[in-house]
Chain A
């Protein structure tokens, strides 16, 4: 069981991820949403977040910068990138910045279950 923060500039994608988490049978309590890294940092304040799912390409603050900011605050919550980006170097940079794993869009609920099952 756990609270999840979904960070993606597409409201459609946030809804799809949210629905897919439930369809995947993952034990989710509250789901919070943010449209970019800056909104996500605000959304985290005062809340217990057990898992962060973040896009990479976003306006204002992208996913790579967002991970850096989260880790710089000393927060160790697992961050999994859910992104259209499949490039090795970008994903390596995400891991270096502190991401735990990545999931390529488009995805199925089964793929979410496989990647996130151990984190919730």
Chain B
């Protein structure tokens, strides 16, 4: 069972369900306003997912008083739909446009998470987004026990948003 570690719950005064709810609302808002897609969430994830096939993953790192990774993992077909909607034109291949679109979604979601953890914003930095894609790959951070993963669906296609956090001393 994936779960938020106790240290984070204690430091943020948030239970895992609260943090998950915040990420769900943030993801729905980003998709509603920037991607023009309505999402359904099906939290909690029933079984761990670490291996991806024909997928695209966008990630942004947090560093400072908290460290962590916010990630979005999509099947290739869904990544193409997201990018097409964001750009307002048909995108048929995974390339620069898809990488940029997925990176920007990760960046916006990372901004929401940063705002929960840091009121001022100067004690946590967001990294420039990283995007990977491929036929088969594994994301190791997703196998850790302190990772919250939320499944979303749109038109029967599923994608995941993951958040792994650690409190720095």
Contacts and interface: CB of A to CB of B under 8 A. Distances in A.
A117 interface: no
A87 B83 contact: no
Interface string B15-52: 00000000000000110011000000000000000000
Interface residues of B, number: 28
Contacts of A87: 114-115, 118-122
Interface string B99-133: 01101100110111011001111100010100000
B97 A12 contact: yes
Contacts of A10: 100, 103-104, 107
B111 A15 contact: no
A interface, size bucket: 20 to 34
Contact of A86 (B29, B104, B121): B121
B33 A107 contact: yes
A27 B108 CA distance: 27
A20 to B, nearest CB: 10
Given A57-B107, A85-B111, A86-B111, A12 B83 contact: yes
A10 B110 CA distance: 15
Contacts of B83: 12
Interface in B47-100: 83, 86-88, 96-97, 100
Given A15-B87, A57-B126, A59-B128, A106 B121 contact: no
Contact of B29 (A9, A16, A106): A106
Nearest to A104: B111
Contacts of B120: 87-90
Contacts of B30: 106
B121 A88 contact: yes
A89 B86 CA distance: 30
A115 to B, nearest CB: 15
B168 to A, nearest CB: 17
A85 B62 CA distance: 13
A28 interface: no
Given A57-B128, A106-B34, A12 B100 contact: yes
A105 B103 contact: no
Contacts of B107: 10, 57, 84
B104 A12 contact: yes
B40 to A, nearest CB: 19
A67 to B, nearest CB: 16
A90 B111 CA distance: 12
Interface of B: 29-30, 33-34, 83, 86-88, 96-97, 100-101, 103-104, 107-108, 110-112, 114-115, 118-122, 126, 128
6 contacts: A16-B86, A84-B108, A84-B112, A87-B118, A88-B120, A89-B120
